[in-house]
C-alpha cells in the first residue's frame, strides 16, 4: 500500500482529542450546600477513578473516526493488475486548436500532421478521439481503435474564426477522463497563444490519471490589426457621422500604416497613421457617405502583413429617415423643449426630429406619424386631444409624461388617470437625492444613478399598476412605466427644465433622454458589430414574431421551428449576418476576437508546470510494465460516515443514561 498525499497522515495526531475527552479532561464535582466544614478533616481525594477510561465503545468510535478521516485524505492506494500487453489500453485524446490564429500560415496543417503521427503510433488496445476547442469544445466521432477513421477526421478539420480557451478544453477533458478507468493521454496541438490562458492557473489543473503532451506549431510573428471601430449603427444624416478606428501592433516595430474606410466595397477615404512599437494608434474618418438602408462597411489596412485576416474590421450601418417626436408644452415654458431638443441632437446617431406645439393648440388628427409623444407639464390640453392621445397609446403608441406644477394642478394624469397631488418646491440643500434606480431598464441603463442630481420638485403620484423605475429618498416615485393597451406610458415626476431640478446640467441628462427616446420609439440599439462566439439578439422574450437568420453565405442558421421561438442566434464566423423579421430586416457584422491576433506564446516555465499537473499518479511503472492503482479514499470516507452515525447513536444513549442517573 502507498499514499498519494502522505502529509495528511499528520492528522493522526488528532487521536489525542478523544483521549482528552475521555481520560485527561479535569474532573469537576457537583457542589452541594452544607452548613459548616469546620469539624471535617481535610484529605486528598484519590483521582485514580477519574483517570480510568469510561464509555469504551464511544471512545473507540471517536478514535476510529479520526483515524479514518486522516487516512482518507492521505489517499492510500493498492497496486492493481498490469495494463494490456504492449502498453495498450490507454485513451488518447487528440486536441487540435482550430481557432482564428491557426489560420496563419500552415499552422493547422502542421498540427494535423503531428496528430496523424500520434495516430500512427497507437498501440494495440489503445482508443483515441479527436476534439477541437475553439469557441466551444467539439468531439469529432467516437472513441475508436480505427486509425483510418481517425485520420479521416483529422483531414476534415478546418480552422475557424473563434477564440481558443485552454480552460474550456481542460473542463471538457476532465469529464472525459472520469469515464475512463485506466491511463489516458492528452495530446495538445496548438500554437500555444498566451491570450488563450485563463487568469487562474487552477483552471488548467488536469486529473491525476491524465498525462499531458504538448505539440507546439508555429512561432510568434509580428502582426498589425484593426482592433476596433467606433461607429453608430443607425444614422439619419451621414455627413455628421464620424468613424474612429484603432490600429494595434503586436510585437511590431514603429511604423506607418495606410488605413481606409470602405462602404459597400467603395473606398471613401484613406489616411496614414503612425503606430508606435507594439502599440496602438487611433484614426478618425469624417467623410462617411452611405445610401438609405443597410450598408456593409469596414475599416481595413492597405499594407498587408503575415496575417492579413485581421487587417479589416467590419461594421453595419443603417441610414434611415429621422423619427418624429411631438413635444407638447405650455406656452410659458420655453426651457423644457430647448433642453430636450439639445439632448437628442447631441446624439451621434441623430435619429430624432422634435416638433414642438403649445398645449392649447395640440390636435390629435395626425399622431400616428410620430414615434412617441411628450407631454411636458402640459395642463391646457383639450379633452379631444386627450381622447386622441389615449387611442394612440392603446393602438401601440408611446407617451412620455413630465409632471410639473401645471400638470399636477389637473389632479389626475391624462391617459392613465392616476391621481396626482401638488408638491412644494424644496430648497436646494434639502432636496432628496435619488435613492433607488432600476439600472436594468432601458430608460435608466445609462443614467449613472443620477449621482449628485437634485430634484427640487417631484409630483407625488398614486401608482397602483405602474412599474417604478426610480425613487427619491423620500419614497416619491420619480420614474415609472405603465402599459396601456398595446402601448406604454412613461411617467417622469419632474420636468425637463432646470427649474424643478438640475438634471439638464449633469452629464446623465443626454444619455437619459436619448436612451428613453429610443426605448419609447421602439428603436432597438443594435451594435454596429459583435465578436465571434457572441449571440445576435433576435427579439425579446415573449415576442411572437419569427426571425430568420442568414449567414454571410446566405444560408439559414435556424430551422423554421427555431426561428419561431429562438431569442438569440449564435455567431461562429466573421462576416455580415442578416436578420429578417415581419417589420423589416437588419444586418449584424461579426469580427474575430482580436486577442487571437496576438501571437505571443505561453512562457516555457508555465507550460512545464502545466505538463506536471497531469503526470498520471493513478498509474505506476514497475519492472517496465505499467500497472494501475486502486485508490481507497472514497471507501474510507464512506466508512467514516458510517462510524460518525454510529458515534451519534451511542453518544445519545450514554447521554440519556446520564440524565436518568442524575
**CA-wise closest residue to 169 among 92, 90, 109, 97:** 97
Backbone angles phi, psi at 138, to 5 degrees: -120, 130
State whether 371 and 449 are in the same domain.
yes
State whether 431 and 472 are in the same domain.
yes
State whether 614 and 640 are in the same domain.
no
Grid cell 474575430 is found at: 592
CB 307 within 8 A of CB 568: no
Pairing of strands 398-402, 487-492: parallel
CB-based burial of residue 335 (10 Å sphere; 0-12 exposed, 13-18 middle, 19+ buried)? middle
**Taking the CB of residue 584, how many other CB atoms lie within 10 A of it?**
10
SS3 225: strand
Grid cell 427555431 is found at: 562
Domain-located, residue 425 = yes
Containing structural domain, residue 19 = 2-75+634-661
Domain-located, residue 363 = yes
Q: Count structural domains, the chain.
A: 5
SS3 263: strand
Domain-located, residue 444 = yes
Domain-located, residue 38 = yes
Query: Picking from 476-485, 594-603, 614-623, which range would have the lowest pLDDT averaged per residue?
Result: 614-623
Domain-located, residue 546 = yes
State whether 38 and 176 are in the same domain.
no
State whether 309 and 372 are in the same domain.
no
CB 309 within 8 A of CB 108: no
For residue 621, pLDDT over 70 is answered with no
State whether 393 and 517 are in the same domain.
yes
Round the average pLDDT of the chain to a whole number and report it: 83
Domain-located, residue 80 = no
State whether 178 and 207 are in the same domain.
yes
DSSP code of residue 395: T
For residue 85, pLDDT over 50 is answered with no
Domain-located, residue 99 = yes
**Taking the CB of residue 507, how many other CB atoms lie within 10 A of it?**
10
State whether 327 and 470 are in the same domain.
yes
Grid cell 486529473 is found at: 207
Percentage of residues in the chain having pLDDT higher than 90:
41
Q: Assign residue 203 the CATH number of its domain.
A: 3.40.50.410
For residue 478, pLDDT over 70 is answered with yes
Q: Which cell numbers hold the place of 232?
A: 453608430
Q: Give the list of residues 6+ apart from residue 650 with CB closer than 8 angstroms, or none.
A: 55, 57, 58, 61
Q: Assign residue 269 the CATH number of its domain.
A: 2.60.40.10
Where is the domain boundary, 478, 497, 521?
521
The Cα–Cα gap between 275 and 68 comes to: 65
| pLDDT for position 220 | 93
State whether 116 and 185 are in the same domain.
yes
Domain-located, residue 354 = yes
CB 573 within 8 A of CB 533: no
Where is the domain boundary, 521, 543, 575?
521
| pLDDT for position 87 | 45
State whether 240 and 387 are in the same domain.
no
**Taking the CB of residue 181, how many other CB atoms lie within 10 A of it?**
13
State whether 417 and 496 are in the same domain.
yes
DSSP β-bridge partners for residue 45:
none
The Cα–Cα gap between 149 and 131 comes to: 14
Q: Residue 656 — pLDDT band, cuts 50, 70, 90?
A: low
CB 93 within 8 A of CB 139: no
For residue 445, pLDDT over 80 is answered with no
| Mean pLDDT, residues 44-60 taken together | 60
The whole model's pTM is what?
0.69
State whether 358 and 258 are in the same domain.
no
Amino acid at each position: 500500500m502507498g499514499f498519494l498525499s502522505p502529509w495528511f497522515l499528520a492528522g493522526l495526531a488528532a487521536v489525542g482529542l478523544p483521549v482528552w475527552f475521555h481520560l485527561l479532561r479535569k474532573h469537576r464535582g457537583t457542589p452541594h450546600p452544607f452548613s459548616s466544614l469546620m469539624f471535617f478533616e481535610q484529605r486528598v481525594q484519590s483521582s485514580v477513578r477519574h483517570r480510568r477510561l469510561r464509555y469504551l465503545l464511544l471512545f473507540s468510535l471517536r478514535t476510529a473516526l479520526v483515524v479514518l478521516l486522516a487516512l482518507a485524505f492521505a489517499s492510500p492506494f493498492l497496486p492493481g493488475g498490469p495494463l494490456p500487453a504492449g502498453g495498450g489500453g490507454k485513451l488518447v485524446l487528440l486536441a487540435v486548436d482550430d481557432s482564428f490564429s491557426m489560420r496563419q500560415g500552415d499552422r493547422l496543417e502542421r498540427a494535423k500532421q503531428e496528430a496523424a503521427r500520434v495516430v500512427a503510433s497507437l498501440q494495440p488496445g489503445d482508443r483515441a478521439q479527436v476534439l477541437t476547442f475553439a469557441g466551444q469544445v467539439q468531439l469529432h466521432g467516437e472513441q475508436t481503435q480505427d486509425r483510418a477513421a481517425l485520420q479521416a477526421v483529422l483531414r476534415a478539420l478546418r480552422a475557424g474564426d473563434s477564440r481558443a480557451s485552454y480552460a474550456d478544453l481542460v473542463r471538457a477533458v476532465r469529464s472525459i477522463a472520469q469515464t475512463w478507468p485506466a491511463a489516458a493521454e492528452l495530446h495538445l496541438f496548438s500554437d500555444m497563444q498566451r491570450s488563450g490562458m485563463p487568469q487562474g492557473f487552477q483552471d488548467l489543473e488536469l486529473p491525476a490519471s491524465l498525462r499531458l503532451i504538448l505539440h507546439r506549431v508555429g512561432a510568434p510573428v509580428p502582426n498589425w490589426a484593426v482592433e476596433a471601430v467606433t461607429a453608430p449603427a443607425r444614422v439619419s444624416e451621414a455627413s455628421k457621422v464620424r468613424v474612429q478606428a484603432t490600429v494595434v501592433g503586436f510585437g511590431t516595430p514603429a511604423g506607418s500604416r495606410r488605413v481606409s474606410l470602405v462602404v459597400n466595397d467603395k473606398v471613401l477615404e484613406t489616411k496614414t497613421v503612425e503606430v508606435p512599437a507594439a502599440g496602438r494608434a487611433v484614426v478618425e474618418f469624417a467623410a462617411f457617405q452611405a445610401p438609405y438602408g443597410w450598408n456593409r462597411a469596414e475599416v481595413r489596412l492597405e499594407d498587408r502583413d503575415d496575417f492579413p485576416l485581421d487587417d479589416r474590421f467590419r461594421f453595419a450601418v443603417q441610414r434611415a429617415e429621422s423619427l418624429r417626436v411631438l413635444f407638447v408644452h405650455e406656452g410659458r415654458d420655453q426651457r423644457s423643449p430647448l433642453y430636450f431638443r439639445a439632448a437628442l441632437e447631441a446624439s451621434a446617431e441623430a435619429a430624432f426630429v422634435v416638433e414642438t406645439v403649445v398645449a392649447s393648440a395640440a390636435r390629435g388628427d395626425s399622431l400616428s406619424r410620430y414615434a412617441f409623444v411628450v407631454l411636458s407639464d402640459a395642463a391646457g390640453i383639450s379633452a379631444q386631444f386627450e381622447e386622441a392621445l389615449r387611442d394612440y397609446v392603446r393602438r401601440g403608441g408611446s407617451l412620455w409624461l413630465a409632471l410639473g406644477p401645471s400638470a399636477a394642478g389637473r389632479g389626475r394624469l391624462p391617459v392613465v388617470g392616476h391621481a396626482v397631488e401638488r408638491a412644494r418646491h424644496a430648497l436646494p440643500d434639502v432636496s432628496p437625492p435619488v435613492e433607488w434606480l432600476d439600472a436594468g431598464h432601458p430608460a435608466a441603463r445609462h443614467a449613472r444613478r443620477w449621482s449628485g442630481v437634485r430634484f427640487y420638485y417631484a409630483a407625488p403620484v398614486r401608482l397602483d399598476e405602474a412599474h417604478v423605475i426610480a425613487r427619491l429618498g423620500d419614497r416619491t416615485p420619480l420614474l415609472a412605466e405603465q402599459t396601456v393597451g398595446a402601448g406604454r406610458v412613461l411617467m417622469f415626476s419632474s420636468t425637463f427644465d432646470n427649474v424643478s431640478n438640475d438634471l439638464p446640467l449633469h452629464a446623465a441628462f443626454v444619455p437619459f433622454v436619448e436612451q428613453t427616446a429610443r426605448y419609447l420609439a421602439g428603436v432597438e440599439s443594435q451594435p454596429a458589430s459583435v465578436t465571434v462566439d457572441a449571440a445576435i439578439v433576435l427579439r425579446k422574450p415573449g415576442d411572437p414574431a419569427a426571425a430568420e437568420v442568414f449567414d454571410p453565405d446566405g444560408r439559414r442558421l435556424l430551422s423554421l421551428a427555431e426561428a419561431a421561438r429562438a431569442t438569440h442566434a449564435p455567431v461562429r464566423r466573421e462576416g455580415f449576418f442578416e436578420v429578417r423579421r415581419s417589420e423589416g430586416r437588419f444586418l449584424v457584422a461579426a469580427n474575430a476576437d482580436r486577442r487571437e491576433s496576438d501571437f505571443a506564446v505561453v512562457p516555457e516555465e508555465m507550460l512545464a508546470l502545466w505538463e506536471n499537473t497531469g503526470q498520471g499518479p493513478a498509474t505506476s511503472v514497475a519492472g517496465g510494465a505499467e500497472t494501475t492503482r486502486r485508490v481507497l479514499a472514497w471507501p474510507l470516507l464512506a466508512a467514516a460516515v458510517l462510524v460518525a452515525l454510529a458515534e451519534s447513536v451511542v453518544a445519545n444513549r450514554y447521554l440519556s443514561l446520564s440524565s436518568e442517573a442524575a
